[in-house]
Amino acid sequence: MAVTTGTILGVNGNMVSVQVSGNVALNEVGYILLEDQRLKSEVIRITGDMVEMQVFEMTRGIGIGDRVEFSGELLAVELGPGLLSQIYDGLQNPLPELASQCGFFLQRGIYLNALDRTTKWEFTPAVSIGDVVSSADTLGTVPEGIFSHRIMVPFNFKGRFTVVSLASKGDYTVDTKIAELKDENGSIHEVTMMFEWPVKRAISNYEERLRPDEQMVTKVRIIDTFLPVALGGTYCIPGPFGAGKTVLQQVTSRNAEVDIVIVAACGERAGEVVETLKEFPELIDPRTGRTLMERTVIICNTSSMPVAAREASVYTAVTIAEYYRQMGLNILLLADSTSRWAQAMREMSGRLEEIPGEEAFPAYLESVIASFYERAGLVRLKDGSKGSVTIGGTVSPAGGNFEEPVTQATLKVVGAFHGLSRDRANARKYPSIHPLDSWSKYGGLIDPQLTQYARDVLFRGNEIDQMMKVVGEEGTGLDDYTVYQKSEFLDRVYLQQDSFDPVDASVGVERQRHVFNLIFDILAAQYNFASQREAREFFNKLRQNFLDYNGSEWKSDEFERLENEIKQMVAEKKNGIDPGAKKLMAVNA
């Protein structure tokens, strides 16, 4: 088969214009030939015999007349055992191996195999010769960490196939033939433990797409109780610089009750990415007691790398997530930050001379962001098991302005909004998720009527706080001042969480329900205070006891002692229950 070639007619930043002699396809990979270097590129627009290509490398030295060879293949990733614990760049080059070859500075034009061809995996067949299979059916399994990695019929195999040969149980490399399949026309297809899949094509080899109805427990109280996320759902974390987006993602990745975590550092600053790379191998996985990296994949593309690779890193990450979902696993994909990806799209759109949308972002920004988040989901597989991909994306709006296009386009498609507040971050209130501005469309751990009652206390407390800034405490009625103290108490002891405390950093479902019920009783109580000073002193002492309570081991003697003290304090000042809360308590009894 003849190789399609082309000649460069223009260079504009990381975009090149190429005149082609032959056939090419959208998203096809081409290589710009520079002496001994081959620079990877992707076709992004075709007009007659002219194509525009985005180059995944620095374009220094590329000139008019340089030759381009097209691969005939779409931009794709390698899928198979060995992905877990890896650190890749946006094109799925393993960065540790790349660094060992290139030294401190990475060289362009070097592309390595994503999966190690020397490691042997213990293959156990799951079918027999003569069985009929189709795409995504399991041919066998290999152990990968704590998981049983399914070796599946490649997803691009169409129709039904008969197994005509199958490797026996044993150790094989990923590129060793483990089966031969005969299609309905009698042709034989060899299958190894790995195959490639185009990153911009969603993997849909499942039986049914389901409604996300089961909560993804993060063990972060404000999220699980007030702003829940569903397994297979989507959420975003917009916030200004320094508000704690990256830390919140790291806390979530360590404690969330999911099987695999994939971190796509799609254009974040190099310092933050280095912090992630340093911390993840040292973090202890609460699930296994070993390093968290054993069930993590990191796609690393910093803001100093070529902008085109930001887009590739996002799609590489979500494709790997979909691949593991086909094994019946729950995957959490964290993209940090999608604003950088959008900026890369804006840069490329400008070079293509497209009509700009708001703030010069491309007019199709919303549809591209929507198509990314739509690849999340809960699915039922052919064997009846379920798998999910949950996508959480951070957004870095300039100046913390949530009205800017990337944030607004994201809010239209996600199921939960965890907006970070500059004021709360400055006040050292972490997580700095604003409890009044944020929202979620998913069901949570607690009855929504109870959480809404607590949110109403927060809303009313905020109103009173704004009023007190004008009239002062002395101009505020005792009842209103008590509501204000209740809202401050709820904020300090439940919405805020100490990520450095070994106990408070991760709060399980049973404890969250238990503690919330105790707090609800405190919020619902009517108190007999003689003055604002007495109310303030009571809630200050109660708050301190509760912080100690949060730091005590679940159901320990210290935990029980502090809880009894808190209940005794409340009983001494309590003289009734709010009628509205009384009805809710009766319904939920």
Task: Give the amino acid at 267.
Answer: G
User: What does the block give as tokens for 387?
Assistant: 């798998």
- Cα 446 to Cα 12, 227, 492: the distances in Å are 55, 11, 19
173 is in an annotated binding site: no
**Cα–Cα distance for residue pair 7/321, rounded to 1 Å:** 37
**Cα–Cα distance for residue pair 577/51, rounded to 1 Å:** 72
244 is in an annotated binding site: yes
**Cα–Cα distance for residue pair 184/520, rounded to 1 Å:** 64
Burial class (CB in 10 A: 0-12, 13-18, 19+), 6: buried
**Cα–Cα distance for residue pair 253/249, rounded to 1 Å:** 6
246 is in an annotated binding site: yes
- Helix, strand and coil in the chain, % to nearest 5: 35, 25, 40
- Report residue 182: phi and psi, to 5°: -105, 125
155 is in an annotated binding site: no
Sequence-distant (≥ 6) Cβ neighbours of residue 511 within 8 angstroms: 554
Yes or no: say if 414 and 228 are a contact pair by the CB < 8 Å rule.
Answer: no
239 is in an annotated binding site: yes
583 is in an annotated binding site: no
Distance, CA of 396 to chain centre:
15
Sequence-distant (≥ 6) Cβ neighbours of residue 2 within 8 angstroms: 22
240 is in an annotated binding site: yes
416 is in an annotated binding site: no
Pairing of strands 28-34, 67-74: antiparallel
Feature table: binding site: 239-246
Binding site for ATP, residues? 239-246
